[in-house]
């Protein structure tokens, strides 16, 4: 057979598999719904049993798909590991995803129950529909279809699915290190990112890191009557507001000393490519009801979220919060604050600078408690080899337009951890859309993302085998 003949053979095989995927749509959706019904919220202790249930469900699914699958205990939620029983040779890929989801509050804003998935307006609606259960299932359904249609997989596949991605769990890295021999592969595949807009397929090569800190400021040793003590006694809400207001200057720059050390602007060529995508500030913010970029002056909304570090308060609480009024002067006030980091910033230096900044603003008769959360550097995936080109090509063929490389504002700590523990580069391919409302009420995943996501993975695995 000539090389052309071999290529035509592969094409015919792939076409057959893609048709098999299309024919199995309803069954694929049914399996995703089963997974979505498990409320595996990793940050809330009461859902620990649900997290284990999700892990066991996935392990059982993979076992039935020809994998040696197991649920591995950790000090936190378990990790699912699976290896293809019938090693087909070719490059060895390690697929990563997470089965845990974000909390669902405020529940009152959901149109349907978050763990009772429905299809509405062409999208699957449920907590985790997009982040990350729907995305995980695009890969698993592609594997199932490839096995069913072709009898074997085009590459050697191992899979790892964790349950603490949404809760800053620190159990994955030790697990990867402890099982490095078993998990070694040629390349990692991660499905936890998105497309650009609704139609441009994308591979993410820049990811921001994260440092989180909860601070609790204590003043008086009890709640006080604001009439009797107000003005004279320190109000911890005021102390907290002063700190938060002081964290950013009038130009939206973070004021922590040394915060921007090592941070560089993206090259002009990259900026030009991003500008060509057509994601203007209005296009980026309009869908959520905003129009004015809020952050660092001089950078587009897209550049602010893809390539600039930031500071956001994710939660604040203090004093009386129920209906009506209570003229209390609270004893404590607290906030959850996170920093998104870019390449060049070191998480623990940022954390130390923040703590020093806060500590220096605490009055002498007050105190502050720091509760650390997360701490991962940014990842700039230095990926210009054949696998990336092959994957871009395969994606472009599925979606009918060239795929692009992009940055992402979200943190995916696993990318750095796969590099650190296993020496693996990761290919970040995902099918989420900007309007998926991940982490928000009414999270959804387009049926189109799910179906063409499955098809995309079938194409990518074939392309990786040929690369």
Report how far residue 355's alpha carbon sits from residue 340's, in angstroms, rounded to the nearest whole number. 16
> Where does this chain touch a second copy (CB under 8 A) — which range of 28-36, 290-298, 377-385, 393-401?
290-298
- For 172, list phi and psi in degrees, rounded to 5: -70, -50
Interaction between residue 318 and a second copy (CB under 8 A): yes
**Minimum distance, C-beta of residue 389 to a second copy, in the bound complex (Å):** 27
User: Among residues 115 and 299, whose Cβ is nearest to a second copy?
Assistant: 299
One of 2, 5, 26, 45 touching a second copy (CB under 8 A): 45
Interacting positions 319-358 with a second copy (CB under 8 A): 319-330, 333, 335-336, 338, 340
Interacting positions 390-409 with a second copy (CB under 8 A): 408-409
Interacting positions 15-34 with a second copy (CB under 8 A): none
Single out the residue of 191, 175, 178 nearest to residue 78, CA to CA. 175
Between strands 379-380 and 224-225, the pairing is unpaired
State how far the alpha carbon of 98 is from the alpha carbons of 101, 103, 107, 200, 359, in Å: 8, 15, 23, 24, 36
Interacting positions 354-383 with a second copy (CB under 8 A): 363-366, 373-374
341 close to 211: Cβ distance less than 8 angstroms: yes
**Minimum distance, C-beta of residue 457 to a second copy, in the bound complex (Å):** 23
Interaction between residue 68 and a second copy (CB under 8 A): no
What distance, in Å, lies between the first and last C-alpha atoms of the chain? 19
Q: Left (φ > 0), alpha (ψ -120 to 50) or beta: where does 374 sit? A: left
**Minimum distance, C-beta of residue 209 to a second copy, in the bound complex (Å):** 10
Interacting positions 102-131 with a second copy (CB under 8 A): 102-103, 105-106, 109
One of 4, 231, 267, 269 touching a second copy (CB under 8 A): 231
One of 296, 398, 417, 446 touching a second copy (CB under 8 A): 296
Q: Which two tokens stand for residue 200?
A: 């441009």
Q: How many CB atoms lie within 10 A of CB 374?
A: 19
User: Where does 327-380 show beta strands of DSSP type E?
Assistant: 328-329, 332-341, 367-376, 379-380
> Where does this chain touch a second copy (CB under 8 A) — which range of 77-85, 223-231, 262-270, 396-404?
223-231
Interacting positions 151-190 with a second copy (CB under 8 A): 166-168
**Minimum distance, C-beta of residue 95 to a second copy, in the bound complex (Å):** 22
User: Among residues 98 and 144, whose Cβ is nearest to a second copy?
Assistant: 98
Interaction between residue 235 and a second copy (CB under 8 A): yes
User: Among residues 364 and 400, whose Cβ is nearest to a second copy?
Assistant: 364
**Minimum distance, C-beta of residue 47 to a second copy, in the bound complex (Å):** 11
Single out the residue of 48, 68, 38, 47 nearest to residue 160, CA to CA. 68
One of 6, 27, 294, 386 touching a second copy (CB under 8 A): 294
Between strands 328-329 and 224-225, the pairing is antiparallel
Sheet of 332-341, strand order: 332-341, 209-218, 367-376
Q: Which two tokens stand for residue 271?
A: 């900026």
Report how far residue 159's alpha carbon sits from residue 178's, in angstroms, rounded to the nearest whole number. 16
Interaction between residue 75 and a second copy (CB under 8 A): no
**Minimum distance, C-beta of residue 246 to a second copy, in the bound complex (Å):** 7
């Amino acid at each position: 057979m000539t090389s052309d003949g071999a290529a035509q053979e592969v094409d015919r095989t792939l076409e057959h598999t893609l048709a098999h995927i299309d024919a199995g749509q309803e069954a694929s959706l049914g399996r995703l719904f089963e997974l979505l019904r498990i409320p595996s919220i990793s940050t809330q202790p009461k859902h620990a049993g649900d997290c284990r249930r999700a892990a066991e469900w996935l392990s059982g699914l993979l076992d039935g798909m020809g994998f040696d699958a197991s649920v591995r205990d950790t000090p936190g939620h378990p990790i699912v590991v699976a290896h293809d029983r019938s090693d087909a040779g070719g490059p060895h890929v390690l697929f990563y995803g997470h089965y845990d989801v974000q909390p669902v509050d405020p529940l009152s804003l959901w149109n349907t129950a978050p763990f009772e998935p429905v299809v509405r307006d062409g999208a699957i609606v449920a907590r985790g529909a997009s982040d990350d259960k729907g995305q995980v299932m695009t890969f698993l359904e592609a594997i199932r279809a490839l096995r069913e249609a072709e009898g074997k997989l085009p590459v050697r596949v191992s899979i790892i699915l964790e349950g603490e991605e949404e809760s800053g769990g620190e159990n994955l890295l030790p697990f990867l290190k402890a099982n490095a021999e078993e998990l070694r592969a040629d390349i990692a595949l991660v499905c936890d990112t998105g497309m650009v807009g609704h139609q441009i397929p994308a591979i993410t090569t820049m990811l921001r890191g994260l440092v989180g800190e909860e601070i609790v400021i204590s003043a008086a040793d009890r709640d006080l009557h604001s009439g009797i003590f107000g003005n004279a006694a320190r109000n911890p809400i005021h102390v907290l507001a002063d700190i938060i207001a002081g964290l950013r200057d009038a130009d939206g720059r973070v004021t922590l000393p040394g915060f921007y050390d090592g941070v560089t602007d993206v090259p002009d060529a990259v900026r030009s490519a991003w500008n060509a995508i057509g994601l203007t500030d209005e296009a980026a913010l309009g869908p959520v009801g905003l129009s004015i970029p809020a952050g660092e002056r001089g950078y587009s909304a897209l550049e602010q979220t893809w390539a600039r570090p930031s500071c956001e308060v994710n939660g604040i609480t203090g004093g009386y919060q129920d209906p009506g009024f209570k003229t209390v002067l609270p004893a404590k006030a607290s906030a959850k604050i996170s920093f998104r980091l870019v390449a060049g910033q070191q998480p623990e230096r940022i954390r130390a600078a923040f703590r020093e900044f806060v500590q220096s603003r605490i009055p002498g008769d007050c105190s502050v408690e720091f509760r650390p959360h997360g701490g991962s550097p940014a990842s700039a995936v230095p990926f210009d080899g054949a696998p990336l080109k092959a994957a871009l090509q395969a994606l472009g063929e599925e979606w009918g337009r060239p795929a692009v490389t992009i940055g992402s504002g979200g943190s995916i700590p696993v990318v750095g951890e796969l590099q650190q523990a296993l020496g693996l580069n990761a290919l970040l391919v995902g099918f989420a859309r900007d309007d998926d409302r991940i982490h928000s009420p009414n999270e959804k995943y387009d049926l189109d993302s799910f179906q063409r996501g499955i098809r995309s993975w079938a194409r990518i695995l074939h392309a990786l085998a040929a690369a």
